[in-house]
């Protein structure tokens, strides 16, 4: 466990806490965003190897054995996708928030409990 991944998990827990305790829908979405950020940190930290450089082939690394000097490129690639997806979901959540607000003039999650049982 690196410091970054621990930090990431702390962020995930903070975000989760926010999502589960905040009654305001916008605040819940912010909670979700924090979870996402923490998650991305965790993913990146998995691929990090101390003392190595970013997996970008450029003039600076010419001649070096990339296998031994690069960090693991896969998590970096994954995190890009994850960020995009997280963005899409956050955007969609906000759209929902706007639409919900138009119906009820409220952003409190308890105001949307008509469907139950």
Give how many residues touch another protein by CB under 8 A. 39
39 makes contact with another protein (CB under 8 A): yes
Binding mask 17-36 for another protein (x = CB under 8 A): --xxx-x-x--x---x--xx
Specify whether the CB–CB gap between 104 and 111 falls below 8 A: yes
Residue 53, phi-psi category: left (phi > 0), alpha (psi -120 to 50), beta (remainder) = beta
CB of 4 to another protein, least distance (A): 13
92 makes contact with another protein (CB under 8 A): yes
99 makes contact with another protein (CB under 8 A): yes
Burial level of 79, CB count in 10 A (0-12/13-18/19+)? buried
Residues 72 and 59: their CA atoms lie apart, in Å, by: 19
Residues 38 and 9: their CA atoms lie apart, in Å, by: 6
Residues near another protein, by CB under 8 A? 12, 16, 19-21, 23, 25, 28, 32, 35-36, 39, 42-43, 46, 74-75, 78, 81-82, 85, 88-89, 92-93, 96-97, 99-100, 103-104, 109-110, 112-117
């Amino acid at each position: 466990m690196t410091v970054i991944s621990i930090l990431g998990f702390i962020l995930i827990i903070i975000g989760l806490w926010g999502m589960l305790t905040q009654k305001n829908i916008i605040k819940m979405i912010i909670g979700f965003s924090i979870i996402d950020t923490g998650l991305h940190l965790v993913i990146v930290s998995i691929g990090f190897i101390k003392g190595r450089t970013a997996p970008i082939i450029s003039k600076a690394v010419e001649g070096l054995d990339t296998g031994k000097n690069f960090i693991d490129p896969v998590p970096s690639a994954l995190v890009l996708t994850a960020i995009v997806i997280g963005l899409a979901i956050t955007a969609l959540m906000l759209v929902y928030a706007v639409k919900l607000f138009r119906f009820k003039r409220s952003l409190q999650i308890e105001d949307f409990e008509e469907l139950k049982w």
